Chains A and B, each alone.
Chain A
Amino acid sequence: MMYLFNFFLAPFQDFAFMRHALVACLALALGCGPVGVLLVLKRMSLVGDALSHAVLPGVAIGFLASGLSLYAMTLGGIVAGLAVALVAGAVARFTLLKEDASFAAVYLMSLALGVLIVSLRGSNIDLIHILFGTILAVDDADLVLVASISSITLVTLSLIYRPLVVECFDPGYLRSVGGWGTVMHFIFLVLVVLNLVAGFRALGTLMAVGLMMVPAASARFWAREVWSMALVAVFIAMLSGYAGLILSFHVNLPSGPAIILTAGLCYIFSVMLGVHGSIYSRRKPGLHLGG
């Protein structure tokens, strides 16, 4: 009993930085879960990835302007991410090019610019911090930021849930009933950027998207409706955050990759044994529904 306590809970009792990290992960999971699910359903999984890279130049400019200041870097990240999302989204909506190609083109430009800025000034250590995050140095200001963004995300999503889901499911219908599809789409892109920026301090720009996409992709195997899928995704994200931190504490691994790899294990498990459409459920003879 004592051993279990020491293993699973004591790290958080003994060390403030572990508590901070855990709370950051749980708050991130709340926002990233549903956003990731909608990205998966919109078939925009890689757009999240693209946006997470696109955040870099903004963060880098914030870093150049005022050092490792949370607010400058966050603001820079949000501005850069939104700029890329709006430009790429507009190109996809109003020209022949599809969403994936337009996002790829714009985010690569943004990423290159970011690497260029970071390499002009600053050492490699800084670049590594920005790319991979420092979850064990999350302070109170970071927590407030992450918690605010999660709250904004959940409130916004609950308001525009219906049009957003219909926009994913049947955009033509939403258009025919006059449902503001394009506006919903852009509000959603803003939420994606906000959540990625929330994740970058804790997990780094490269890993932030992991907590968004990997649990969401796993959730597809467990749920039949959008809301339940989002719940499963939040649960998996929280679980991976907790387990990843414990793992990184005991085995002395970097926390960001440990968290994402834990989520990855959940994903592999879901792919193999999930209830809907997994390898296992497809192998066993299907239940025939009467009627």
Chain B
Amino acid sequence: MTAVVGPNGSGKSTLLKGLTGILHPLGGRIDRGNLKTSRIAYLPQAAEIDRSFPITILDVVSLGLWHHVGMFGGLKSKHWQQARQALGAVGLAGFEDRAIGNLSAGQFQRVLFARLLLQDCPVILLDEPFTAIDERTTADLLDVVRGWHAEKRTIIAVLHDLEQVQLFFPRTLMLAREPIGWGDTAEILTPENLQLCRRMSEAWDEAAEVCLISQP
């Protein structure tokens, strides 16, 4: 369970996109072991989702079963049951047949978490999952995340709330265009490191040269 922190533009989202295989590294390579990219669950920062789309909540959640059902397979009653359970686990039982257009931002985030639950992936990437979400919803969804942690899944989450990181995430990676530090949260979130980050966001070079690839 690792938190990724750092100022805007420091490369946090880029890192996650690289891990999922959406972006290819300019240099170096990404070692995913034997894991296929389709078994990495990814919740983007601002999903390209049309919230007025005519689809029911249960249908959205059941998409999490893609790995089992595939492009053409049919959903059996067992699958619908699983989807209902996932929806119950994020506190939205009884909302199955509503259109997604009726949901608030927080409720919709719960739906996306239910879909992640069903995806049942060993690695889960979350890009600012709690931005613009109220406290209650954040607490509930953090419970879900800790459940994954207890199930020995790998969770990598981009976060801005440092208090949250200190409370819940044992490991932290700090980025400011280059890695500042990676290790136990208490050792990384030090005043010196935070100072480094702050300086990075101020140092914007108008006439920056195109970088030659130097990363390992």
Contact = CB atoms under 8 A, between A and B. Distances in A.
Nearest to A161: B72
11 contacts: A162-B72, A166-B63, A168-B50, A171-B48, A178-B36, A180-B71, A224-B56, A225-B54, A225-B56, A226-B55, A229-B54
Interface string B158-192: 00000000000000000000000000000000000
Nearest to B107: A291
Contacts, number: 64
Contact of B48 (A170, A178, A180, A220): A170
B38 interface: yes
Given A224-B56, A224-B99, A291-B95, A169 B50 contact: yes
B98 interface: yes
A96 interface: no
B102 to A, nearest CB: 7
Contact of B66 (A172, A177, A289): A177
A165 B55 CA distance: 9
Interface in A146-191: 159-160, 162-163, 165-166, 168-173, 175-180
Interface of B: 20, 22, 36-38, 40-42, 44, 47-50, 53-56, 59-60, 63, 66-67, 71-72, 94-95, 98-99, 102, 115, 119
Contact of B42 (A41, A176, A180, A289): A176
B128 to A, nearest CB: 15
A76 B8 CA distance: 53
A58 to B, nearest CB: 32
Interface string A280-291: 000000000101
A291 B48 contact: no
B50 A160 contact: no
Contacts of B94: 291
Nearest to B42: A176
Nearest to B47: A172
A160 B54 CA distance: 18
B71 A172 contact: no
Interface in A227-246: 229
A288 to B, nearest CB: 10
A229 B37 CA distance: 34
Nearest to A290: B94
A215 B119 CA distance: 36
A223 interface: yes
B12 to A, nearest CB: 17
A169 B49 contact: yes
